Structure 1
Amino acid sequence: MDLDKQTARKVLENAEFQKMARQKAMLGWGFSAVVFFMYVAFIWVIGSSPELLKMPVSSDGITTWGIYIGVFVIVFSFVTTGIYVRIANGKFEKMTQEVVNSVKGEK
């Protein structure tokens, strides 16, 4: 077995790495659930009470609440994804590098 495979196996077996992987998975599933709920709620309102979304924002305007809520759902999804990426590429990447360095015997 070459050195890279041994290092990878040691990293994957490391308790700190496994803990971090569980945290990352829970965070990912949590954000996914929130975004999924947001889309399901939006579609549910469209299907069950479309009159709520076709109401104009102002009495003399043509823009409806549906436009604003639809844009909010999309922006919310982008922001949620951005937060996850920032955490995953920041905190979790740093934790991964610490484990890799400890396995390799580096500081």
Structure 2
Amino acid sequence: MSTQASHAIRQHPQFAILVRKRSTLAWTLAALTLASYYLFMLVVAVAPASLHQPLQAGGVLSLGVPVGAAIIVFTWALTGYYVYRANTEFDRLTATILQESQP
């Protein structure tokens, strides 16, 4: 890509919108991911007995296992949501920017 084409893309008004939307989404999803992991670790550090409770009377599996698994599934879902937005809204904006920036 030439310097002139790169400059034209960066000057396109939709480019700033694309960058802002992508950055906002990425930071929001990163914060949600980190918050869920750190909250889990905080509960483990402060109140480990709450996660050590068995799921059923006399059971071996504790509450911490499904909660940990749910956190992992939650972060996968966030990743899936980002991929969905990237493949729909962000790709559409990118195509518009590239098409309108071509001489």
Normalising by the smaller structure, the TM-score range is over 0.9
Q: Report the TM-score when normalising by structure 1.
A: 0.90
Corresponding residue for residue 81 of structure 1: 79
Amino acid at match of 1:30: T
Matched, 1:67 2:62: no
What is the aligned counterpart of 1:51 among 34, 46, 49? Answer: 49
Q: CA deviation at 1:5?
A: 2.4
* Counterpart-to-counterpart distance in 2, 1:53 and 1:63: 10
- Unaligned runs of 5+ residues in structure 2 are none
- SS of the residue corresponding to residue 60 of structure 1 reads coil
What is the aligned counterpart of 2:10 among 9, 12, 15? Answer: 12
* Counterpart-to-counterpart distance in 2, 1:76 and 1:42: 13
Give the number of equivalent residue pairs. Answer: 103
CA RMSD of aligned residues (A): 1.2
* Counterpart-to-counterpart distance in 2, 1:44 and 1:33: 16
- Unaligned runs of 5+ residues in structure 1 are none
* Counterpart-to-counterpart distance in 2, 1:86 and 1:12: 24
Corresponding residue for residue 101 of structure 1: 99
Amino acid at match of 2:11: E
* Counterpart-to-counterpart distance in 2, 1:65 and 1:24: 36
Q: CA deviation at 1:90?
A: 1.9
**1:25-80 C-alpha deviation (Å, 9 max, x unpaired):** 00110111111110110000000000011100010211110000000011111110
* Counterpart-to-counterpart distance in 1, 2:38 and 2:70: 14
Matched, 1:39 2:72: no
